[in-house]
Amino acid sequence: MTTECNGRTLVFQSKNSRDISARFDGGPVSLDGGGVLLGQVEQHARIISRFAACFTDHRDADLIEHTVEDLVAQRVYGLRLGYKDLNDHDDLRCDPLLAAIVGKKDFLTP
């Protein structure tokens, strides 16, 4: 029995100009594709944004690189994708799919 490959491409909305699509042709693979769905839910429901608004940021605004919303989103997405430890975020910061989900235009390379 031969396997029939589905040539269809699934296209998702993005927060920026980066294209996000799911293809099944064996190209570059990300195991965290479910994060795209989480990003879509957040765009519509704004749950993380509303949760982040509950915190008061006492840091010096001139020294801030990441907003409270960015930090909360990173932690929530990491937990939902199965990364329970904060040290896993060292790997996640280099993931182009996660960068696209949270609306970053660029990402770090390992």
Which of 40-49, 79-88, 101-110 is predicted least confidently? Answer: 101-110
- Say how many domains are in the chain: 1
Mean pLDDT of 70-81: 88
Question: Which is nearest to 68 in space by CA: 53, 81, 82?
Answer: 53
Mean pLDDT of 73-90: 84
In a domain, 6, yes or no: no
Q: And the tokens for 104?
A: 């970053």
Whole-number pLDDT of residue 17: 65
In a domain, 60, yes or no: yes
Residue 12 pLDDT level (bands cut at 50, 70, 90):
confident
In a domain, 63, yes or no: yes
Does residue 77 sit in helix, strand or coil?
Answer: helix
The whole domain housing 40 covers: 33-110
* CA–CA gap between residue 37 and residue 64 (Å, rounded): 29
In a domain, 102, yes or no: yes
In a domain, 8, yes or no: no
In a domain, 85, yes or no: yes
pLDDT per position as a tens digit, 19-44: 777 766 655 556 677 888 888 888 89
In a domain, 105, yes or no: yes
Residue 92 pLDDT level (bands cut at 50, 70, 90):
confident
* CA–CA gap between residue 97 and residue 92 (Å, rounded): 9
